[in-house]
Structures are given as structure tokens and as C-alpha cells.
Amino acid sequence: MSPPVRERRRLAVVLWGVLGVVAVLIEAIYRLGTMAARVLTTHTFTTGQLILLIAWTVVIVYFEGYRGFQQRFSPRVVARALHLAEHRRPLHVALAPLYCMALLHATRRRLIATWALIAGIVALILLVRQMSPPYRAIVDAGVALALAWGTVSILVCLARGLAGRPLGIAPDVPEEAPRPADDAEQLARPAIQAGGPCDP
């Protein structure tokens, strides 16, 4: 396979994984943002509710958007996409967005953390659905903005990763056993370095 073809396939895997994650986030932003905007533009908020809206938005954008996405999730998504592009397996490529979110083929610690986070998000969604419309809109608006921040940070990390700039985070993939060819190369290397009987 020629280098240009390999590079195009590598790029396709990276884009499929990362943009698949971005598509999931955009869908959530649209859904939450639409519901929040409908209430925010038709409901008369009290001063306390407006203060709560501002405070909640600042807190969630900082902790979820900046610390959660920009510093951890976003660079890891791209790092895993780049790793997958170099270590392609058909199933992993097919499920690249899930792979990039560390929902499969990750270290034990990362899998536990990711699935625990998913469970926490589901529980939070169920809780928020029980809130009255103005407070649910306040929560949804803040989360939508945080997700938008996170989406932009993923695209920035993608640009950095494709440019070859370091992302500063590990892909958290399990260590893989070396292939037989690698074992043979490892065994042959000391003999080559020590010099064989036919060396001058």
C-alpha cells in the first residue's frame, strides 16, 4: 500500500472517530438548547432565578467545559483516535466513536471511570426531568453551553493532533502483547549488536 493511501486511511479513521463524538455532542446541544431556549424566552424569571442561571452556567462551564472536556476528555478523544489509526482492528474502527470515548478497549481504570460517568449522567438526566420547567431550563442551558465549549475544544485538539503537536495525555489503551515478528526482532537484536561469527 502506497504512503498516500495509508495516510488517507489513517485520516479517515481519525475523522470518523472524532467527528462521530462531535456529532453526538451536537445532537445533545441542540436538544438541550432548544428546550432551554423555549422556556427562557417565554417564562418570566425572578431575580433569584436569574442569579441561579448565571451562577450555574459559570460553574458548569468551568468544571464540565474547561476542566472536564478541555483538559481531559477532548485531548483523550483525539489521542485515542490517533492511536486507533495506527493500530486498526475492524471492530474498533467500526465503533471508532465509542472507542474514542473510552467505552471499549481501554485500561481497566479508564473503563470503570468512563462507565461510572455514564451512569452518573443518566441518573442526573432522570433527576433533572423531575424539575419544574424554569429550573430544568436553567440546568439545560448551562449544560448545553458546557457541551458547546467541549465540542469546540475537541475540534481544536483534533487540529493540533493532525498537525503533529503533542496532546499531553495518554490514550489509556491496554498494553498489547508483542507480535511474533516483534519477538524475533527483539531476540535477534542482541546478537546483531554483539556481532555474529561472519562479521569482519
**SS3 label, residue 117:** helix
Burial of residue 34 (CB within 10 Å: 0-12, 13-18, 19+) is exposed
| Average pLDDT of adjacent 10-residue blocks, the chain of 200 residues | 83 97 96 94 92 96 95 96 95 97 95 92 89 93 96 97 93 70 39 37
Three cell numbers written together for 3: 504512503
| Residue 74 to residue 68: CA distance in whole angstroms | 8
Amino acid at 186: Q
Hunting for cell 481504570 — which residue is that?
Answer: 109
The pTM assigned to this predicted structure is 0.84
- Given a contact cutoff of 8 angstroms between Cβ atoms, the answer to whether 76 and 102 are in contact is yes
Three cell numbers written together for 196: 555474529
- What is the per-residue pLDDT for 194? 38
Long-range CB pairs of 86-90, under 8 A, 24+ apart, other chains included: 86/10, 87/173, 87/176, 88/9, 88/13
Three cell numbers written together for 32: 438541550
